[in-house]
A and B are shown apart, each in its own frame.
Chain A
Amino acid sequence: MRGFLGRWGGFLVLTAVVLLLPLILPNRFYFDMAVKVWLNAIVCVGLNLLIGYAGQISLGHAGFFALGAYASAILTRRFEIPGLVAMLMGAAGVGLLAFLVARPILKLKGHYLAMATLGLGIIVAIVINREIWLTGGPDGVRVPALFIGDWRVSRIEDWYWVAGGAMLLAVWLALNLIDSGVGRALRALHGSEVAAATAGVDTVRDKAMVFVVSAVFASIAGSLFAHAERFITPQEAGFLRSIEFVTMVVLGGMASTFGAVVGAALLTVLPQAVAEFQDYKHLAFGAILIATMIFLPKGLVPSLAELFRRRRP
């Protein structure tokens, strides 16, 4: 029951937050910030399935985010494919790419896996920067507005609901997955790969699978981001973006879906709220990453949950 209340109770709270937050958001600037929070949260919820639950690292997820964003930009702009179709095509392409690289990459462990995913992200960034004819290169590219049916999603308030809804969907999918046999297999191979294999888990297949799922989450978030901002630059593919995502997951809490959302929220809002933070953003992210690992290795949400549980016998 604890698990049930914790999970679905948490989901209700999150839904309530999404529904009520607009009441206190004073202006466009804050709505825009909230959209960024929800979209980053989608990436982090997916990345947390990989890092927090399955125990595999990725330093290249900004690459998948950017691929989704550019797929949407290019497919809608050049080929006039409807936005939602382009988004799904992008996600399918990213999923396929992730699947093809997953098997060789996920045979690697620890540092090697970190290096391989890092390399993957860097390659994506280089390609986007260089293939100017397709991507617009370092200057970036404009992105048409998103249509959902006849509804042209353009006002930032509209984007709030689209991004918030997509984030809730991502959380719901992740919670379902974790509470299934597949989800337990992922956590098991994190705990002991040999014991998971002994229980019949095809550890290579399942690692590849969660890598694909997390890449697809990032791709969808990237597509939405591109349409919401109406403009996309190769910076989104950068190594530092990948580090931001990992820091969000680690700060919020490994193996906690709500932790991933909280981490995304904190580290999206903080740099915008504190002007000084902006200049030293990446330095600060590094410091936060180190401090969390040393002082709060489980991350914010799991640590708070534990505190709460201990207080209440």
Chain B
Amino acid sequence: MSLLKVEGLTKEFGGVRAVADVSFAVEPGTIHSVIGPNGAGKTTLFNLVTGVYTPTAGTVTLDGRDLTALSTAARAKLGMQRTFQNLQIFFNMTAIENVMVGRYLHLGTGLVASLLGLPKIRRETRLAREKAAELMHRVGLEKWLDADADAMPYGALKRLEIARALAAEPKLLLLDEPAAGLNPKETVEIDELIREIARGGVTVVLVEHDMKLVMNVSDRILVLDYGRKLAEGTAEEVRRNPDVIKAYLGEGAA
């Protein structure tokens, strides 16, 4: 069974159809990329899948379960995590605290126990810190553990979001342009990191403009254009698709 299934998903802003009747399925354990020109609706698609936006029409299911009525937080509980194209960092916290927030779903949330600082809560905080430190090592942020988030460079913040998402131990991870703004060396590292995440059993949906990265890591690729699904298939199939070539290189090239 597909892990994520999107059917007839549509989102209109005023008169603009940012996502128009898009359907696709993501198989567990794969890396599924979503590409398309600027404004094609990729980020809007992520916002619909994660429940940040309410769709105009269509459904999203995870593990066969309809998510339409669920909040973003409820979807997180079912194993969905994402990163943001325009960083959403907790700038009022340190780097490791950002990642510790990612552990939220694995912690007790009792108010009274928290106020009293019961041993259980303290232990959980300690374990969350250890786990967060481990993840920061894994994404190459070991230098930044106790740094204030607002003192970190852009590239490090991109990884910080990935570490925070991984801290929740998701089944499905949606990455919105993880390599944007990174230099070639950093991009290669992100490439390796994404593969490693997928090898670890996390299903990845990847939005990315770096074609080399996309063609390298993707099991399947979905191409959007003006909110519509233009093509879908393996890297090879997509590369040869005349519609895709036309959309990317302009009419003359086809």
**A198 and B82 form a contact (CB under 8 A):** yes
Which of the residues B104, B111, B113, B117 comes within 8 Å of A184, measured between beta carbons?
A: B104
B220 within 8 A of A: no
**B111 and A195 form a contact (CB under 8 A):** no
Q: Count of A-B contacts with CB under 8 A? A: 112
Q: Nearest CB to that of B146 among chain A residues?
A: A2
B101 within 8 A of A: yes
- Range of interface residues on chain A? 20 to 34
| A209 contact set on B, CB distance < 8 A | 111
A191 within 8 A of B: yes
Which of B73, B102, B103, B105 has the most CB atoms of chain A within a 10 A radius of its CB?
Answer: B73
Which of the residues B71, B101, B164, B168 comes within 8 Å of A185, measured between beta carbons?
A: B101
**B116 and A200 form a contact (CB under 8 A):** no
Closest CB in chain A relative to B106 CB, distance in Å: 9
List which B101-143 residues lie within 8 A (CB) of chain A.
Answer: 101-105, 107-111, 113-117, 121-122, 124-125, 128
Closest CB in chain B relative to A283 CB, distance in Å: 32
| A180 contact set on B, CB distance < 8 A | 107, 113-114, 117, 121, 124-125
Q: Nearest CB to that of A203 among chain B residues?
A: B73
Closest CB in chain A relative to B100 CB, distance in Å: 6
Task: Report the Cα distance A211→B71, complex, angstroms.
Answer: 22
B244 within 8 A of A: no
| A177 contact set on B, CB distance < 8 A | 114-115
Task: Report the Cα distance A177→B114, complex, angstroms.
Answer: 5
Which of the residues B92, B102, B110 comes within 8 Å of A199, measured between beta carbons?
A: B102
The list of the 5 closest CB pairs from A to B, nearest first, reads: A191-B90, A176-B117, A181-B107, A180-B114, A195-B88
Residues of chain B having any CB pair with chain A under 8 Å: 50, 52, 71-73, 76-77, 81-82, 84, 88-93, 97, 100-105, 107-111, 113-117, 121-122, 124-125, 128, 146, 164-165, 168
